[in-house]
Structures are given as C-alpha cells and as structure tokens.
Amino acid sequence: MTDPAHTITLLTRDGCSSCVAAHDQLVPLCEEFGIPLESVDVDAAAVTDPELRAEYGDRLPVVLLDGREHSYWEVDEARLRSDLTI
C-alpha cells in the first residue's frame, strides 16, 4: 500500500509558529505511514547549503515529499495522504 522509501522533510525556521503547527500535524501522519519525519532549519543549513534558504526561506514551512516541494505555508494533508498511497 505505502512505499517505505518515501521521505518527508519539513523545512522550518527557528521561532516560526506555522512551522511548529506543520510539524505537529505531520508527526501523526508520518507515524501512521511509517515514514520518518526530517526537519531542516533553513537558516542553520545555510552554512553548508545557502541555496536551500534562498529557494524556500520566504515561504516556510515547506513540505518536501521525496525531495520535491509538495506544499508550503500549510500542510496539504489530503493531497499528501493521496500521494503516499499511490
């Protein structure tokens, strides 16, 4: 049913309340699908990957599914569930 090879990455920023809300929404979803949730602070990552902050820093939080942008500002849970079951 689900592919355990899926990855979900949440791009965040310290002090971002929307990022905290997105994380809290993604935790049970990831547990349900058996997918680890990775969180990356784009400001901290900018030391080694400045393009990450340049690309995504103005629309956080951003959800990446398998390394590709899936949604930003809010978690599109219905679409994410659908994409995880394909």
Give the tens place of pLDDT for each residue, 21-35.
999 999 999 999 999
Residue 17 domain flag: yes
> Smallest Cα–Cα separation from 73: which of 16, 33, 14?
16
Residue 2 domain flag: no
Domain ranges, residue 46: 8-84
Domain count for the chain: 1
Q: What is the pLDDT of residue 22?
A: 97
Give the Cβ contact number of residue 38 at 10 Å: 12
> For the domain that residue 59 is a member of, what is the CATH number?
3.40.30.10
Report residues of the chain scoring pLDDT below 70.
Answer: 1-4
Q: What is the pLDDT of residue 3?
A: 44
Residue 29 domain flag: yes
